Structure 1
Amino acid sequence: MNVKDRKEREVDNETIAGILRRVIAENGRDHIGGYAFAIACLMVVAATTAFTAWISETVINEAFANKRGDVVLLVCFSIFAAFVLRGLATYGQAVALSKIGNSIVASYKRRLYTHLMALSIGFFQEKRSAHLTAKINQNISGIRDVLNMTVTSVARDVLTLVGLVGVMISKDWLLSLITFVGAPPLLLGLRYISRRLRLATREAVEANSRVLGAMQETIQGISIVKAFTMEDELGRKVEGIIKGAENRANRIARLSERTAPLTETFAGLAISGVLAYAAFRTIYSNVAPGALFAFVTALLLAYDPVRRLARLQVSLERAAVNARMLYEILDTVPHQRDLPGARQLAFSEATVEFRDVRFSYGNGEEVLKGVSFLAEGGKTTALVGPSGAGKSTIISLIPRFYDPQSGVILIDGQDIAAVTKQSLRNGLAYVSQQAYLFEGSIRDNIRYGRPEATDAEVEEAARL
């Protein structure tokens, strides 16, 4: 099995049904009222659409055969009322689903931010931050799209199609049977397209995240770019990444738009065949045209829901891939959880002791090999050594940015692995080698360390 086939097999295992079940389980209950209202509106849309097709037989027969103007006026008024009702219902479901979708997106943004804050620094060093941010921005709407497309397709398109097919069968069951003979080949073709589109969508998301990541990293490191005249070299690199993303986007366009010739061909055959059949029956068999006109109207109105349903799996595949990639981040288990029963760290002399500490980054070579020392409280302890000796690593282990592979780190005789990270870090002052400012004023940045600090305390900290 080659790499491409293996990737397709892996992506195929990420079923839409599994993603849908998880999305509904996590969001359905919170928005059940809004979805119930939207579904009710969509049912009204479906019912009024089917009613328009069904009543057209009465219009044709009463107007052209029986010539009863009073009945025609009543029927026309009912059609007008149906369209008004459908317009109001369409507005209601659109607003309801938009509000629910916006709420879901906001909820997952909050959830993602909280989860990212719980992950260790090692996670962010393994994942390039620019790529991670770009991937989140692209994929977070996938959750909303999976739910909204499912609701609108089931409550509007499926119900509308069922109603219109019912009208068609009631007017001419034999013609209805003939019309839908071509449906199975159409469904098989769409299934093949959607399976290929799933892998292409995942590759496109990855490619776009690399594009946005490269741009973000260039902006953040613009002084280095300028200092070393890296513009041309980086430009060539980014051009290649952009070209790759463009090719993947074009592939998705070719795959997703293949549904159009399939559905259009099917619709063209069905509609032209029905019109020819209706015309010959009226001309040569002197059959009243009302029933056949109603059948044709139902068939024409059924085209839109059929077209949307034909594209549904393709659209759901794309949304499900986005949702799956978002869940990959949410399902990442934090490596540095507090131990059960972890206690608050109590400070007294502020001594820091390392006992035979060993540490390596990932599966790399050991950076610290049995380090032991005691830094007494109230005194200055300097770590001296060449670049790469492990000085920054030792500092990173004290606030538990990482955990050692073996050995013990003690503060005032307490193992920092057995205390809560929050109490540990609240008692430490940390000055990074790289000054980083968050959005806001200098005063705001200083106060982040202690939000309750007064202006005088902030200014004193700035002077110090």
Structure 2
Amino acid sequence: MLIVAGMTSLSAWIMKDIVNETVVSQNMNRMFMLAGGVALIFIVKGIATYFQIVILSKAGNNIIAKTQSSIFSRILQQDLNFFIKFPSSDLVMRLTNNAQAARTAMDLILTSAIRDLFSLVGLVIVMFIQQPILSLVSFILGPAAFVGVRYLTNKVRDIMQQELTAFAKIIESVQEASTGVRIIKAFGLEEHMRTRMDKQVTQVEHRANSIARLSAATSPIMETLSGLAIAGVIALSGLWVVGGSQTPGELMSFITALLLAYEPAKRLARMRVNLESAMVGVRMMYELKDHPILLTEAEDAQPVPPGGGEIHFDNVGFSYDENKPLFKNLNLVFPAGKTTALVGASGGGKSTIINLIMRMFDPDEGVITVNGLDLRQISFESLRAHMSYVGQDTFLFNGTVRENLALGRQGASDEEIIEAAKAAHAHDFIMNMSNGYSSFVGENGGNLSGGQKQRLAIARAMLRDADILILDEATSALDSYAESLVQDALARLTKDRTTIVIAHRLATITSADNIVVLENGEILEQGPQRDLLGHDGPYRRLYELQILPQLEEA
């Protein structure tokens, strides 16, 4: 870029000799030498421009790639509250569209600060050497242009902020249309979704047009002021040449430098407007990178101590809302190698207990231990390696059946994967798929039924073979026949493991070693089913509502 700037200034300087040798002295040999010099100037400038574009592109692409990877890595370190604050559509926009905004900002800064600025400085030097007084005259209107561009910059910043927010809404609508297509069609919501998308697209269009108008407004400002300056300077210089005080070559060199300076000056003036537009996106991207990580690993983090996976809640307090605590002085034990079931109405705290055990959150008060060691002192890698999870909202990655199962324990052999699938009663339906274990499951398992997805999730958990097993309504999507098969598999899977089960259907937890009944963050009662049924308590009332009618029908 420095070479390009130098060659641009040199092309204006050489005009003095070209005009004087051509018009005044008419020295043909000298003129041919100057012609060769002009050719060399533009050849060097062309080669330098090529390398400028290639090197700048590679550097920009590398910086953006590293920044995106760094921010994505930081996102993965955040707790669940972060993903509530930043929905997926917002994250997608910040990592894609805003990353390109960062690239635009870098290109603007580098090209304007180096190539355009140095080109302008070099041309101004040529102008002052050839015509110092006329150069001063040409800069009188500069401050007026600066004031006008500064006003436009402030307007662009506000509009661009609204533009990116509206753009995130478009992404959100597309995601909802993709994941909720069954609901949309079942309730005939196509027109509602179409109207909502049209409104969002129109908002983006209007704001994009506003930004385009403001950005384009720099051109008439610069064109008008520069035109007046150039016209006045040419008129004055013409009078001086006619008067004989200046040579035609000096005048031509000055005018060439003045005209060449116009484009970099215009780009520099417009840079502030375009840069402010890009920097709005950059700031939004770095909000993710600068967002504090609330779940941190201890500096001297240790592996999970030896043991069967016993979990203790010792006077644990936790709240999503500071003014409304969910748990206060919660004491609960999940014995090693035993199955503990959590039951109760929605909102009682069952899922929160699981999230705390998996360290998706940290408690506000008290301590949670695994094998006697505080969760906050255990490394994330070791803690997660000792846990396996099956949720009611089964998530599958967009890949093959084999790839999804292998995520349970990376490095597992094909034989181990098939054995886990057989244990979860998933092998038969997998083999009936078009490519068996190499069949693609689709986005979030879109090619599979709910029951099939859940059996794959159970197989994935079996393959992990962890000490602690967490089952959150793990059979909710299975029909009665499939559930009877999977319950048999789960019975083998939970044997001698610390198992925590969330269940709304009491029939799935009748054999649990301990049943904990929760309501509004408090333990109402706990114990084996036979003890809970021995007195009139909340569990017995639930049992009578669910199980007894089924027994009477049978």
Matching residue of 2:76: 117
- 1:95 Cα offset (Å): 0.5
Matching residue of 1:351: 310
Amino acid at match of 2:147: L
Matching residue of 1:396: 355
- 1:104 Cα offset (Å): 0.4
Q: Are positions 1:253 and 2:188 aligned together?
A: no
- 1:106 Cα offset (Å): 0.9
2:264 pairs, out of 305, 309, 318, with 305
Output the CA distance in 2 between the equivalents of 1:287 and 1:407: 88
Amino acid at match of 1:111: S
Matching residue of 2:524: none
Q: Are positions 1:72 and 2:31 aligned together?
A: yes
2:43 pairs, out of 67, 70, 84, with 84
Matching residue of 1:147: 106
Output the CA distance in 1 between the equivalents of 2:7 and 2:215: 30
Output the CA distance in 2 between the equivalents of 1:85 and 1:260: 30
Output the CA distance in 1 between the equivalents of 2:20 and 2:124: 21
Amino acid at match of 1:457: E
Output the CA distance in 1 between the equivalents of 2:228 and 2:216: 19
Mean Cα deviation higher: 80-89 or 185-194: 185-194
Matching residue of 1:175: 134
Q: Secondary structure at the match of 2:388?
A: coil
* Aligned residue-pair number: 423
Query: TM-score by structure 2 length?
Result: 0.72
The percent of aligned pairs where both chains have the same amino acid is 37
1:250-280 Cα shifts (integer Å, max 9, x gaps):
2212221110111101221122223333444
Q: Secondary structure at the match of 2:345?
A: coil
Aligned pairs for 1:63-462 (under 5 A) are 63-283=22-242, 288-363=247-322, 365-462=324-421
Greater strand fraction, Structure 1 or Structure 2: 2
Query: TM-score by structure 1 length?
Result: 0.86
Query: Does the 8 A contact of 2:79 with 2:294 survive in 1?
Result: yes
Q: Secondary structure at the match of 1:82?
A: helix
- 1:85 Cα offset (Å): 0.6
Amino acid at match of 2:355: S
1:33-60 Cα shifts (integer Å, max 9, x gaps):
xxxxxxxxx1211111111111112221
- 1:202 Cα offset (Å): 2.1
Query: Does the 8 A contact of 1:193 with 1:256 survive in 2?
Result: yes
- 1:286 Cα offset (Å): 8.5
Gapped regions of structure 2 (runs ≥ 5)? 424-554
Amino acid at match of 1:153: S
Amino acid at match of 1:131: D
Amino acid at match of 1:447: A
Amino acid at match of 1:233: H
Amino acid at match of 2:73: T
Q: Secondary structure at the match of 1:382?
A: strand
Output the CA distance in 2 between the equivalents of 1:286 and 1:118: 73
Matching residue of 2:457: none
- 1:230 Cα offset (Å): 2.3
| Aligned Cα root-mean-square deviation (Å) | 2.0
Gapped regions of structure 1 (runs ≥ 5)? 1-41
Q: Secondary structure at the match of 2:302?
A: coil
1:380-418 Cα shifts (integer Å, max 9, x gaps):
222221222222222222111122223333333333233
Aligned pairs for 1:15-54 (under 5 A) are 42-54=1-13
Query: Does the 8 A contact of 1:135 with 1:206 survive in 2?
Result: no
Query: Does the 8 A contact of 1:130 with 1:217 survive in 2?
Result: no
Output the CA distance in 2 between the equivalents of 1:338 and 1:59: 71
Amino acid at match of 2:260: L
Change (3 A) 1:224 1:364: farther
Output the CA distance in 2 between the equivalents of 1:164 and 1:375: 78
- 1:364 Cα offset (Å): 6.5
Q: Secondary structure at the match of 1:181?
A: coil
1:424-459 Cα shifts (integer Å, max 9, x gaps):
111011111111111221111111232121111111
Output the CA distance in 2 between the equivalents of 1:380 and 1:261: 76
Matching residue of 2:479: none
Change (3 A) 1:429 1:223: same
- 1:337 Cα offset (Å): 0.7
Q: Secondary structure at the match of 2:369?
A: strand
Output the CA distance in 2 between the equivalents of 1:128 and 1:140: 17
